[in-house]
C-alpha cells in the first residue's frame, strides 16, 4: 500500500552552485553566463514515488543535468522570455519538456526563467498510459522538447501551478484536502491529453542523428575546456581536440548553447575560479586572501589579476575579495 505522506521544501539561493546541488539524486552543474548577482529559488514536493519541482533563476545560465537513473521528468516553462534552449531546441511557454534519466541534458537560459515539472520512475509513468500514448512518449523522449499548441500548453502551466499551490497549502495538515497521488495521476492524464492534442511537427527521424552528433561535439569540447582551463589554450586547440573545424565548432555552440566557444571558455574559467575561491577560503582561512585570489586567477587561466577582478565582478556582481568575505562569514 502506498503512502500519501509528503514533504515540502522551498529554498531561496544567492549562490548558483548551492542551488544546483539541492536536487537529491541528480547530477547537476550550472555555469553562470549572465552578468550580475545570482538569485534563485527551488521548491520541491517529495513523496515516495514522485517529486514535484519548481525552479526559478534570474540570469543567463548553462545547466548540465542528469536526472536520477530510471527516472523521467515531465515539465513546462512558465516564463515568457524568448531565447531559452533545451538540448539545442527552442524552449518557451508552448513546449513540453520530456527528460530521460539515461543521459545528460543541457539547458541554456538567456535570463529569468521558471520551470515546473514532475519527476518519477519511467516505468511507473509509462504503465499508467494508454498503449498509443506510451508509444508517443517513447518516440519523443529523444527530442526532449515537444511543440504544443498555446491552449494545451496553457492548460499544463495552469495545472502545474495549481498542484503546487494545493500541496503547499496542505503541508502540515493532519487531513489532506487532496491526495498527492491523485494530483500526480492527474498530471499524467493531462500530459497524455497534451500529447494526443499535439499537432506540432516534431520530426524525430530526420533530425536526431545530426543533433546527436552536434551534441557530442559540444560536450567533448566542454570536457576538454574543463580539463585544460588553467592552461593557455585557445579555440584552435579545442578544434584539434574535437577533430572539427573552427566554423563547425562555432556553429555547434551557437546552436546548442547560443554562445560562442570563446565566450563559453571565459565563462567556464570564471565559474571555476568562483567555486575555487569559496572552497579554498572555507578550507584555509589563515592564508592571505589576496595572494590566494591571485594564484587562483593564474590557475584558472587569467594572467592579469586586475583584468580577472574586472571580469569577475562583471559576471557575478561582486569582487573576488567580496566572495572571500562572504565565504568566511558563512563558515
Q: Cα separations (Å) of 25 from 20, 28, 68, 71, 119? A: 12, 9, 5, 10, 11
DSSP strands (E only) in the chain: 7-13, 27-32, 40-46, 50-57, 61-66, 71-77, 85-86, 89-90, 95-100, 105-109, 113-121, 145-147
In SS3 terms, 82-93 reads as: CCCEECCEECCC
**Exposed / middle / buried, residue 144 (Cβ in 10 Å: 0-12, 13-18, 19+):** buried
Fill in the DSSP letter of residue 297: H
Q: Which three cell numbers stand for residue 257?
A: 548553447
Q: pLDDT tens digits for the chain (331 residues)?
A: 455 677 888 999 999 999 999 998 899 999 999 999 999 999 998 888 888 999 999 999 999 999 999 999 999 999 888 899 999 889 999 999 989 888 899 999 999 999 999 998 888 877 766 665 556 666 666 678 888 888 888 988 988 888 888 777 755 554 455 677 777 777 777 777 776 666 444 554 445 558 788 889 999 999 999 999 888 899 999 999 999 999 999 999 999 999 999 999 999 999 998 988 888 766 655 455 555 677 777 877 887 888 898 999 999 999 988 888 887 776 6
Q: Cα separations (Å) of 121 from 4, 17, 71, 97, 322? A: 17, 26, 4, 16, 43
Q: Which three cell numbers stand for residue 103?
A: 543521459
Q: What is the pLDDT of residue 326?
A: 80
Q: How many CB atoms lie within 10 A of CB 276?
A: 17
Distance CA 260, CA 140 (A): 29
Q: How many CB atoms lie within 10 A of CB 113?
A: 25
User: Residue 322: what are its φ and ψ, rounded to 5°?
Assistant: -70, -35
Domains delineated in the chain: 7-202 (2.60.120.10), 204-331 (1.10.10.60)
Three-point CA angle 252, 256, 260, nearest 5°: 60
- Whether 207 and 73 have beta carbons less than 8 Å apart is answered as no
Distance CA 305, CA 285 (A): 21
Distance CA 286, CA 322 (A): 17
| Residue where the block lists cell 530510471 | 70
- Whether 316 and 15 have beta carbons less than 8 Å apart is answered as no
Helix (H, G, I), strand (E, B) or coil at 243: coil
- Whether 81 and 113 have beta carbons less than 8 Å apart is answered as yes
User: Residue 195: what are its φ and ψ, rounded to 5°?
Assistant: -65, -40
Nearest CA-CA partner of 63 in 207, 284, 288, 267: 267
CA–centroid distance for 330 within its chain: 25
Q: What is the pLDDT of residue 167?
A: 73
Q: What is the pTM of this model?
A: 0.84
Amino acid at each position: 500500500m502506498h503512502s500519501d505522506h509528503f514533504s515540502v521544501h522551498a529554498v531561496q539561493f544567492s549562490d548558483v552552485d548551492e542551488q544546483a546541488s539541492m536536487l537529491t539524486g541528480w547530477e547537476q552543474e550550472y555555469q553562470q553566463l549572465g552578468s550580475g548577482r545570482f538569485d534563485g529559488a527551488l521548491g520541491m514536493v517529495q513523496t515516495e514515488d514522485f517529486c514535484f519541482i519548481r525552479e526559478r533563476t534570474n540570469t543567463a545560465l548553462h545547466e548540465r543535468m542528469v536526472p536520477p537513473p530510471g527516472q523521467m521528468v515531465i515539465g513546462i516553462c512558465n516564463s515568457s522570455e524568448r531565447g531559452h534552449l533545451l538540448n539545442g531546441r527552442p524552449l518557451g511557454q508552448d513546449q513540453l519538456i520530456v527528460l530521460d534519466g539515461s543521459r545528460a541534458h543541457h539547458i541554456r537560459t538567456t535570463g529569468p526563467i521558471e520551470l515546473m515539472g514532475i519527476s518519477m520512475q519511467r516505468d511507473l509513468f509509462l504503465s499508467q498510459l494508454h498503449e498509443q500514448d506510451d508509444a508517443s512518449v517513447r518516440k519523443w523522449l529523444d527530442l526532449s522538447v515537444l511543440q504544443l499548441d498555446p491552449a494545451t500548453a496553457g492548460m499544463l502551466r495552469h495545472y502545474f501551478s495549481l498542484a503546487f499551490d494545493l500541496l503547499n497549502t496542505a503541508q502540515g495538515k493532519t487531513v489532506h484536502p487532496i491526495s498527492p497521488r491523485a494530483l500526480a495521476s492527474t498530471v499524467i492524464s493531462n500530459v497524455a491529453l497534451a500529447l494526443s492534442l499535439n499537432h506540432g511537427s516534431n520530426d524525430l527521424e530526420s533530425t536526431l542523428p545530426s543533433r546527436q552528433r552536434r551534441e557530442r561535439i559540444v560536450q567533448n569540447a566542454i570536457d576538454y575546456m574543463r580539463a585544460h582551463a588553467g592552461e593557455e589554450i585557445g579555440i584552435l586547440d579545442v578544434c584539434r581536440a574535437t577533430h572539427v573545424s573552427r566554423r563547425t565548432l562555432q556553429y555547434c555552440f551557437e546552436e546548442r548553447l547560443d554562445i560562442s566557444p570563446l565566450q563559453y571558455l571565459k565563462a567556464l574559467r570564471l565559474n571555476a575560479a568562483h567555486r575555487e575561491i569559496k572552497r579554498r577560503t572555507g578550507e584555509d582561512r589563515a592564508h592571505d586572501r589576496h595572494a590566494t585570489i591571485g594564484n587562483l586567477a593564474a590557475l584558472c587561466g587569467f594572467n592579469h589579476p586586475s583584468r580577472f577582478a574586472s571580469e569577475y565582478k562583471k559576471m557575478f556582481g561582486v569582487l573576488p575579495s567580496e566572495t572571500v568575505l562572504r565565504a568566511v562569514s558563512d563558515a
